[in-house]
Structure 1
Amino acid sequence: MKLISLFDEFLKDTVNLNKTRIDLLEASIPALKSFVRGADWKPKVRTFEEQGSWAHQTIIKPVNNGEFDADLLVMVDPVDGWTAAEYVESLGRTFAASKTYEDMIKTWDYCVTIDYAGDRKVDLAPCVVGRRWDGSMEVCNRKGGFELTSPVDYTAWMKERNAYSGNNSFRKVTRLVKYLRDIKETFTCPSVLLTTLLGNRIQWLDKGTDAFADVPTTLQTVVGRLDNWLRMYPTRPTVTNPKLPSEDFSPLFGTDDQYSNFRTVIARYRKWIDEAIATEGRQESIKAWQKVFGTEFAKGDVVKAAADGLSESTSSSLVGRFLDSTAAHLSGIVDMVRDYGLSILPPGFARPPHMQTPRWRSVPQPVDIAVSAEWRPASGSQVGKAVAAGQALKPQGGLYFRASLVDGTPVPPEFYVEWRITNTGAVAMSAKAGRGGFEVSNKADGRWEELAYRGIHMAEAFVVRRSDDVLVGMSKPFYVVIE
């Protein structure tokens, strides 16, 4: 079965980068552009161009909600006598001299990366326009010199293929295959090569045909055609950039063994996709699709089916108790969130009865505040590991929470931050009497909380103006899942 509606839910809840993180990204970009234009950087900036998955709208949620990358080209006029390395290195020095960005930057061969507190990275790459001929574009490789590129034309090609497929299905299928690559880790294929391989399987005469009627059908068509094409090439074939014939993407396959593995894996997934579409019966088909995409596919439908099948005598089972909103904070919910993700939480979960309400007067529309967290083995540790909201953690060490503006900059000194820490779960409720009140920052710029009690807990940041104690900003709950 196609299970079209379940594919829509799977894309929305699991595969697509969620709107909050896209908003954080887009809030960062104007500040970066303004900084580059206003800085004492010698190249004259023409404009900026989005590149890669962000520009193509095929960016996906990283596995385990880790960091995601976005690419931004800085289109500049050539500087007489400059080497490719000078464009990249001088841009890196410019950011390093800024109080705002000095601790957030790293310079690579092609770009300068701005790292926003373990949540997202923006790669700014100088692109020199008109150095070879009028309209030519070259990215700068510190080690290899200037390299011709065609990012704007490539994005237009990608959009053209998406229009041929109809219903935005090429973009959606590209996200699905990238998710498959990242979650299964059974093959390697960089996104630009993967997008090109998939896009080359769609032509103008496909527009409006049954082979692209919906997302699962488009997936079956494109993966099937890719498998057919790969079967013709036992050894690594040439894959040219469709808008820059001099550029060959095939070295991105890696070694001969990696290419051979890619062929094998695509053939396997083609077989599984065909079987899933051919399978009759909703639950049987869901199992077949889960063979392809893992248990995140149709996770809500599986829980609902389990609940619908409960008899009166088994209504006190885990699923039954979970669906009972009065028992939504039982410790058993941890297992379900670990297996099915945060989307399984009922709407009222974030507001348990023991949670205190803010005591401050508030502006009409408080701004959004971002919260990030690092796991550290002890309160005094200086080095930590970024943790995503909803990531299952062991009851050891603790989390160091930080609050920031949505563009990643620190909260200004004329404001202070208080934290609402809410515990759930039977052990935590008993030990801490249902913590749900407000706490001050107990670190220089954040809050340390020990990981001790099984349950799903919440940390929220509230930003208050010092001069009049008015609430001006607040975050969404950062969910902490302790097994």
Structure 2
Amino acid sequence: MKLISDFKDFLNDTVNLNQTRIDRLEDRVEVIKDSIRSSDWEPRISVFIEQGSWAHDTIIRPVDGGEFDADLLVKVHPVDGWSAAQYVKELGRVFRDSGRYGDKTVVYDYCVTITYADDCKIDVAPLVMDREYQGTLEVCNKREDKFEESQPVEFTRWIREKNGYSGNNSFRKATRLIKYIRDIKRRFSCQSVLLTTLIGHRIEWFDKDSSAFTDTPSALQTIMGRLDDWLQARADKPSVPNPTLPSQDFADLWNDTQYANFRNFVNKYRKWIDEAVEATDRSDSIEKWRRVFGDEFAKGENVAKAELSAMQRTSALLLQSAAHLDSLVDNIIDFGINVLPSWFKTPPHLQRRRRD
């Protein structure tokens, strides 16, 4: 069974990042923007760009109650003589020297991360425009001190296009659900940009208004089925090119063992999803969906299930009691016959007659 209403509740109550945290994220990002604008960071700012799951609207609530991640790009004009590492280091210095962010700041290879304990992490990364020629965009690799071409806006546009083909926001909903499976099960490794790209490639323009994406569980079943078929046809790690920058292979985020593990578990979860959809009894279907998502799925069913279990235990007890009574009666009859006085038993001549 599809249990469409249960999926809606599951997404709203468990999977989706709640609106309160989204509002708080947006407020914090605005403060970060103001802090950068008013700082002595030398690059001239063009615009701020949302990136990643936040921009794609596929961000989910952390399953462990910890922080979620959001990405913010600072698109800037180039500074003469600056190396790639300098953009990141200098941005890190600005945050470290700040009274507001000093104890929240860590500088990584491409970004500066601001951590709000038990809530969220905001990665702020420089994006240099028009450095070599007009129209180029480059992120900054501090570790290797080099510029790397990037197309974040075009990638977000591609994601939105795929979501439009799926209809009913199905691409985003299915992506959140698959991310939830990844995070709650912890059985495979797949970074969000790679996972989102793999899912996006499973949707085409002709899927628009098709029954394969008519609702959330249908979209999930369709995507997992197509993804599994694609993976099973590729025993060795394949290429997963960035759809907007073919020179970038997202499969580099895996090693061979991680790919093999991902391939195996997608196959397993695909089968579990098919079994949950094919179940004809509601209780059976819920149990099968819980095998995929855990006990938070259809959690309102817990009381009804407990009551049913109590009834089943009572019925079993009654059946056992009845069987015990039958056995007791048989034992009493056998006992009564065995202890009858000899004068009450059948006379020998009648016993012979009966045998005759």
Please name the residue that 2:284 is paired with. 284
Q: Cα offset for 1:118?
A: 2.9
Q: What residue in structure 2 maps to residue 95 of structure 1?
A: 95
Matches within 5 A, 1:465-480: none
Task: Provide the residue aligned with 1:143 in structure 2.
Answer: 143
**1:192 paired residue number:** 193
Q: Which residue of 1 aligns with 2:346?
A: none
Which whole-Å CA distance do the structure 2 matches of 1:296 and 1:44 have between them?
48
CA–CA separation in structure 2 for the residues paired with 1:300 and 1:102: 44
Q: Distance in 1 between matches of 2:211 and 2:110?
A: 43
Q: Which amino acid counterpart does residue 271 of structure 1 have in structure 2?
A: K
Q: What TM-score, normalized by structure 2, do the two folds share?
A: 0.85
| 8 A Cα contact 2:48 2:72, kept in partner | yes
Which residue does the alignment assign to 2:161? Answer: 160
The Cα RMSD (Å) is 1.4
- Cα distance in 1 for partners of 2:304, 2:148 equals 53
| CA displacement, residues 107-154 of structure 1 (integer Å, 9 cap, x when unaligned) | 111111111133111110000011122111111010221111111000
- Give the structure, 1 or 2, with the largest relative contact order (CA under 8 Å, sep 6 or more): 2
Cα distance in structure 1, aligned partners of 2:79 and 2:222: 48
Secondary structure of the corresponding residue to residue 7 of structure 1: helix
Q: Secondary structure at the match of 2:261?
A: helix
1:201 aligns with 2:202: yes
Give the Cα separation in 2 of the matches to 1:122 and 1:21. Answer: 13
Match of 1:245 in 2: 246
User: Given residue 147 of structure 2, which amino acid in structure 1 is its aligned partner?
Assistant: F
| Structure 1 residues 310-321: aligned runs within 5 Å | none
Say yes or no: does 1:217 pair with 2:218.
yes
Matching of residues 45-444 of structure 1 within 5 Å: 45-144=45-144, 145-253=146-254, 255-306=255-306
Structure 2 unaligned runs (5+)?
315-356
SS in structure 2 opposite 1:192? Answer: helix
What letter corresponds to residue 86 of structure 1 in structure 2?
Answer: Q
After TM superposition, what 4+ stretches of structure 1 lie above 2 angstroms from structure 2? 301-311
Please give the alpha-carbon distance, in whole angstroms, between the structure 1 residues aligned to 2:303 and 2:160.
37
The AA in structure 1 aligned to 2:271 is K
Q: Residue 305 of structure 1: CA displacement?
A: 4.7
Other structure's SS at 1:128 match: strand
SS of 1:218's equivalent in the other structure is helix
Report % sequence identity: 57
Higher helix share: 2
Greater share of strand residues, 1 or 2? 1
Q: Deviations over 1:338-370 (max 9, x none)?
A: xxxxxxxxxxxxxxxxxxxxxxxxxxxxxxxxx
Q: For 2:132 and 2:228, locate their aligned partners in 1 and report how far apart those are by CA, in whole Å.
A: 39
Q: Which amino acid aligns with 2:279?
A: T
Aligned-partner residue type, residue 32 of structure 1: I
1:444 maps to which residue?
none
Greater alpha carbon shift after TM alignment, 22-31 vs 195-204: 22-31
* Count of aligned residue pairs for this structure pair: 311
**Distance in 2 between the 1:132 and 1:234 partners?**
40
Cα deviation code 1:82-112 (max 9, x no counterpart): 1110000000111112111111111111111
Offset from partner CA, 1:66-85 (integer Å, 9 cap, x none): 01111000000011111110
Sort the Cα spacing of 1:83 and 1:295 in 2 relative to 1 into closer, same or farther, 3 A.
same
Whose Rg is larger?
Answer: 2
* Partner AA of 2:239 in structure 1: T
How far 1:300 moved relative to its partner?
1.3
1:398 paired residue number: none
Q: CA separation in 2, counterparts of 1:111 and 1:257?
A: 28
Deviation at 1:199, TM superposition (A): 0.5
Q: Deviations over 1:420-471 (max 9, x none)?
A: xxxxxxxxxxxxxxxxxxxxxxxxxxxxxxxxxxxxxxxxxxxxxxxxxxxx
Q: CA deviation at 1:308?
A: 8.1
**TM-score (ref. length: structure 1):** 0.63
Q: CA deviation at 1:209?
A: 0.5
Q: Tell me, what secondary structure is at the counterpart of 2:135?
A: coil
Q: 2:43: which partner in 1?
A: 43
**What is the one-letter code of the residue matched to 2:2?**
K
What is aligned with 2:8?
Answer: 8
**Which SS does the other structure have where 1:115 is aligned?**
strand
Q: Render the CA deviation track for 1:364-402: whole Å, top value 9, x for unaligned.
A: xxxxxxxxxxxxxxxxxxxxxxxxxxxxxxxxxxxxxxx
Partner of 2:349: none
One-letter amino acid matched to 2:190: C
The 1-side partners of 2:261 and 2:102 are apart by 42
